[in-house]
Amino acid sequence: MTTHSTSGKTLAGKNPKNSSVTMTEIVLPSHTNSLGTIFGGRVMAWIDIAAAISAGKHARRVVVTASLDALHFVAPIKLGHVVHIKATVNFAARTSMEVGVRVESENPLTGELTHTAKAYLTFVALDDHGRPTQVAPVIPETPEEKRRLEQAKIRREARIKLADDLKKQGAQSVD
């Protein structure tokens, strides 16, 4: 069993299925643009909510969004369709978690499902004083969970490198 330990506190690992969330919404006229498809910002908000619930389930703490990256819209979502937002924690570091999100659109008349978007978000768990706090590691069991964990580690390294690069450029003006 994998554990995280800091300050004498050890947390047992958790399986990704324990953080799994499916949120379901219907696309209403107020959610759509002049083409009758959903605004990307609405989908982004739903993604953030589902991912926050997933991270909160894993951490059993208040969590905050640290970043949203690799958001890809792959198909439009139409007025009247049902949207399923599936979120799961893929990887946990000491205080942060990567949550993978998959969005599908369902035609309510035919039942046809279409993959419409995917995203990866990073959340940080907070203690009672609003400071980052330790979270349990992710313990994958299935080949798919293991694949997602390994890919999340690669994305994490890329995020760390990007943050370092941006910090180095921080002294330069971005006018």
* Domain assignment of residue 3, yes or no: no
Judge whether residue 106 has pLDDT over 80.
yes
Poorest-pLDDT segment among 31-45, 48-62, 154-168: 154-168
The answer to whether residue 157 is domain-embedded is yes
Q: What is the DSSP string of 13-45?
A: -B-GGGG-EEEEEE--GGGB-TTSBB-HHHHHH
Does residue 145 form part of some domain? Answer: yes
Type of residue at 110? T
On whether residue 2 sits in a domain, the answer given is no
How do residues 77-102 score in pLDDT, each as one tens digit? Answer: 999 999 999 999 999 999 999 999 99
Q: What are 170's two structure tokens?
A: 């921080």
Are 52 and 46 in contact, with CB atoms under 8 Å apart?
A: no
> Cα separation of 116 and 15, whole Å?
26
pLDDT reading at 61 higher than 50: yes
In this prediction, residue 69 carries a pLDDT of 87
Q: Is residue 7 part of a domain?
A: no
Q: Please state whether the predicted TM-score (pTM) of the whole model is above 0.75.
A: yes
Residue 97: name the closest of 46, 129, 60 by CA: 60
Q: Cα(169)–Cα(157) distance, rounded to whole angstroms? A: 18
Count H helices, E strands: the chain? Answer: 2, 7
Diameter of the chain measured on Cα atoms? 57
The verdict on residue 1 lying in a domain is: no
Least confident interval from 12-26, 28-42, 57-71, 156-170 = 156-170
Boundaries of domain holding 112: 12-169
Specify if 111 maps to a domain: yes
- pLDDT greater than 80 at residue 25: yes
Average pLDDT over residues 146-163: 94
Q: What is the CATH number of the domain that holds 122?
A: 3.10.129.10
Torsion-angle region of residue 58: left (phi > 0), alpha (psi -120 to 50) or beta?
Answer: alpha
| Bridge partners, residue 126, by sequence | 62, 132
pLDDT at 175: 47
Is 143 a domain residue? Answer: yes
Number of folded domains in the chain?
1
Task: State both tokens at 134.
Answer: 């330790």
